[in-house]
């Protein structure tokens, strides 16, 4: 499997297992706190997801969950699920003390590789309309906004896509 032992800079990105569920949930919650503050909404799905739901994603045969580690510490994760040629990338999370160091981009690239391995020709993800750092990351990796959708009373979501190349 391509993701077994993949090393990018100091972080190792591997497929996560059920035993990683608690650490994934911890990193995810820590990473999404700034989003909750930005949108004044503590009920964002990554913050309200339960340990059982994370475990369910980890055992779902159609979902690839990747984890980034520095030594034994899990410092990031991302999910990729390919359906009808589209790889849906979700829950990209990097521990707050590791943000801005390139790890999010490496996780995003690894998720794209997982999608390509599953036959994806298109990649799709979304983020909050005012999440400028996220939007910059996705644009740097070739994603283009194609839709803006309302999200309750907040500013909404920006949906981005990218076509597979090569």
Q: At CA 147, angle to CA 144 and CA 149, rounded to 5?
A: 140
Asked if the model's pLDDT at residue 2 lies above 80, the reply is: no
Report the share of the chain in percent with pLDDT over 90.
Answer: 81
CA distances from 160 to 49, 86, 88, 117, 125 (A): 23, 12, 10, 21, 6
Of the candidates 31, 29, 35, 95, the residue with the CA atom closest to the CA atom of residue 68: 95
Q: For residues 106-133, give the mean pLDDT.
A: 96
Q: For residues 96-114, give the mean pLDDT.
A: 96
Report the run of H or E that residue 69 belongs to, with start and end: strand 63-70
Q: pLDDT of 60-90, one tens digit each?
A: 999 999 999 999 999 999 999 999 999 999 9
According to the model, what pLDDT value does residue 7 have? 38
Task: List domains and CATH numbers for the chain.
Answer: 6-123 (3.40.630.30)
Q: pLDDT of 18-64, one tens digit each?
A: 999 999 999 999 999 999 998 888 989 999 999 999 999 999 999 99
């Amino acid at each position: 499997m391509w993701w077994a032992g993949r090393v990018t800079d100091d972080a190792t990105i591997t497929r996560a297992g059920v035993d990683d569920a608690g650490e994934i949930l911890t990193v995810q919650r820590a990473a999404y706190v700034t989003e909750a503050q930005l949108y004044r909404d503590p009920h964002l799905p990554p913050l309200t997801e339960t340990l059982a739901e994370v475990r369910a994603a980890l055992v779902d045969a159609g979902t690839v969950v990747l984890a980034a580690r520095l030594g034994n510490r899990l410092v990031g994760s991302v999910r990729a699920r390919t359906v009808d040629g589209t790889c849906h990338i979700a829950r990209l999370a990097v521990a707050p003390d590791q943000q801005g160091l390139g790890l999010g981009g490496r996780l995003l690239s690894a998720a794209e590789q997982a999608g390509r391995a599953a036959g994806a020709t298109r990649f799709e993800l979304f983020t909050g309309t005012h999440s400028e750092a996220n939007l910059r990351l996705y644009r740097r990796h070739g994603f283009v906004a194609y839709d803006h959708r309302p999200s309750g009373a907040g500013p909404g979501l920006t949906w981005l896509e990218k076509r597979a190349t090569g």
